């Protein structure tokens, strides 16, 4: 290849890269704005958590920092869905009806029931006990994951991509009267990409990425920092 050819190839490559970076070449599309989604109310035998702008339920939480986060996340998303904010207490308090989040004096978790895999650090149990709903993890991450699993399976919430979260509005929040979920991840280490998910563009915040990572069970750190590294988010695997 001649010197002139190399020169023009270099210039062309530079112009293509500069054009892509500035948006002159392959410009960015307008952000996708999903339509608001409403969810149908569960119609089988149900526990009604929220109805007519009120609830008899309160959240009893464990004392681990990640369990406190799990309780707050459940409270936050239920409020966004229904407009009703459930109260939270540690296990010294009491409510007429209770949602149990984490290790408390209300529920003893068997980390390895007969015939099932041990929960480990990321597995969880999500179940009903009479009118109670129990969110319990083998480790603090498991408790966090149980909250997002509940929101996904029974309230049709989704964390699909950055700035694309689906939280269907519901005036009445009802879930099956019998829930018995036991989940252990197939892969211990989960880090789907080395491309940064968090940046300062598009109003995408650190907390948005926390929710995306927790909902998608991202528990590891690759070439980039993981926003869930703090103990309040259950920590990560290196």
pLDDT of residue 34: 63
What number is the average pLDDT over the span 15-27?
69
Q: What is the pTM of this model?
A: 0.81
pLDDT of residue 71: 98
pLDDT tens-place string over residues 163-218: 788 999 999 999 999 999 999 999 888 887 645 555 555 677 788 889 989 999 99
Annotate 223-237 with DSSP letters as a single string: SS--TT-SGGGT--B
End-to-end Cα distance, the chain:
46
CB 99 within 8 A of CB 109: no
Answer yes or no: is 218 within a domain: no
- Give the range of the structural domain holding residue 78, as residue numbers without chain letter: 46-184
Report CA 79 to chain centroid distance, whole Å: 15
CA distances from 203 to 31, 189, 226 (A): 11, 29, 18
**Overall number of domains in the chain:** 1
CA distance 186 to 120: 11
Lowest mean pLDDT among 13-27, 52-66, 115-129, 136-150: 13-27
Q: What are phi and psi of 89, to 5 degrees?
A: -145, 155
pLDDT of residue 112: 72
Any idea what the CATH number is for the domain that residue 165 is in? 3.30.379.10
Answer yes or no: is 7 within a domain: no
Residue among 95, 102, 98, 41 at smallest CA distance from 69: 102
Structure tokens, 195? 């491309």
Looking at the DSSP assignment, which residues form a beta bridge with residue 57? Answer: 97
What number is the average pLDDT over the span 13-35?
69
pLDDT of residue 86: 98
Highest mean pLDDT pick, 20-24, 102-106, 186-190: 102-106
Environment class of residue 166 by beta-carbon count within 10 Å: exposed (0-12), middle (13-18) or buried (19+)? middle
Answer yes or no: is 216 within a domain: no
pLDDT of residue 199: 58
Residue 149 has pLDDT above 80, yes or no: yes
Answer yes or no: is 105 within a domain: yes
Pinpoint the alpha helices (H) of the chain. 3-22, 65-82, 140-155, 206-215
CA distances from 43 to 8, 23, 54, 84 (A): 68, 50, 19, 21
Structure tokens, 54? 């009120």
pLDDT of residue 167: 93
**Residue carrying the six token digits 């994951």:** 145
pLDDT tens-place string over residues 45-83: 999 999 999 999 999 999 999 999 999 999 999 999 999
Q: Which residue has the higher pLDDT, 133 or 116?
A: 133
pLDDT of residue 197: 59
């Amino acid at each position: 290849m001649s010197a002139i050819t190399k020169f023009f190839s270099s210039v062309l490559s530079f112009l293509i890269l500069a054009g892509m970076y500035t948006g002159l070449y392959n410009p960015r599309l307008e952000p996708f704005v999903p339509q608001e989604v409403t969810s149908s109310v569960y119609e089988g035998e149900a526990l009604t958590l929220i109805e007519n702008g009120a609830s008899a339920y309160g959240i009893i939480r464990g004392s681990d920092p990640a369990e406190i986060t799990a309780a707050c996340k459940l409270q936050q998303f239920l409020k966004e869905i229904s407009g009703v904010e459930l109260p939270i207490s540690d296990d010294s308090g009491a409510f007429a009806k209770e949602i149990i989040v984490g290790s408390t004096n209300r529920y003893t978790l068997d980390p390895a029931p007969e015939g099932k895999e041990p929960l480990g650090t990321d597995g969880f149990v999500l179940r009903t006990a009479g009118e109670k709903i129990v969110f319990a993890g083998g480790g603090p991450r498991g408790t966090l994951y149980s909250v997002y699993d509940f929101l996904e399976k029974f309230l049709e919430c989704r964390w699909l991509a950055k700035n694309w979260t689906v939280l269907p509005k519901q005036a009445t929040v009802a879930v099956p009267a019998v829930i018995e979920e036991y989940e252990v991840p197939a892969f211990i280490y989960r880090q789907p990409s080395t491309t940064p998910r968090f940046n300062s563009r598009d109003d995408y915040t650190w907390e948005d990425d926390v929710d995306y990572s927790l909902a998608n069970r991202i528990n590891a750190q690759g070439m980039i920092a993981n926003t869930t590294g703090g103990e309040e988010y259950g920590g990560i695997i290196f």
